[in-house]
Structure 1
Amino acid sequence: MLKLHDFCNRALFSDVPPEKSAHNQAVLGWKGPGGLYAIAAILRDYPRDGTWYLGFMIVDAAQRGRGVGRSIYSTVESWAAARGATEIRLAVLEANEAAERFWRSLGFIEYRRVGPDTFKMRSHRRIELSRRLSGATVEGSNK
């Protein structure tokens, strides 16, 4: 099962853009008999009203490949939509092809590529993806 301290610390949960506060972010966890098996953090109304940014969603490796990630994302999306979200955005590292395939399979589309930026002494490019939750069009979409 996930050991929260293995991949993050409290600073991660309060790391939000300067115009937002940690109070604008929801951190959701899923726990089973063996402990925590998934966690997600989503930022309300960023970069604009109605758009919510999924900062991360991590599922324990033992739970992958069984539809758990899809189910968890569905829960996150429904939860956000009930609170006013009309679009969800996220980013994946260009090198993480499995994550990109996962998000695209859920209907996310690319709206831009960013970088390269240096993170943990390595250069990374991010693919920013978006999924509309209503009939609104996605600004900046290239699809």
Structure 2
Amino acid sequence: MKIVFLIDDDADDREIFADSLSSLDSSIMYQEAVNGQDAFEKLLSGTFPKPDLIFLDLNMPIMDGRTFLKKIKEHKDFSAIPVIIYSTSSSDHDKQYASQHQAAMFLTKQYSIALLTRDIKQAIENFLGV
């Protein structure tokens, strides 16, 4: 079983993402966190299964995606997990930061469910082989 972890503070974005993911492959387990701190606490708890792929929003309260990306890539138990930046931002600065901190891919959030599903499908095929 493959596990996809979405870290995003927007409840609507989480719901749409989960619906798109389940329409692609219902065997993929979906987990979520509302910010980087919440995500890191879940990962470190030991009760939260280690994900195979992380989708990460950049702009969140408490711990933003930039800080989370840096921390996870420095952590020995989680540094190999591919992290896909999943943000409304399309700025060159954010793309450069993501690349410098070993993000596997940068996706700008789509506001069309069809386009969102297409992008999630591409990422899952590339990184999970599903």
Which structure has more relative contact order (CA 8 Å, sep 6+)? It is 2
Task: Name whichever structure is richer in strand by fraction.
Answer: 1
Larger radius of gyration: 1
| TM-score normalised by L of structure 1 | 0.38
TM-score under structure 2 normalisation? 0.41
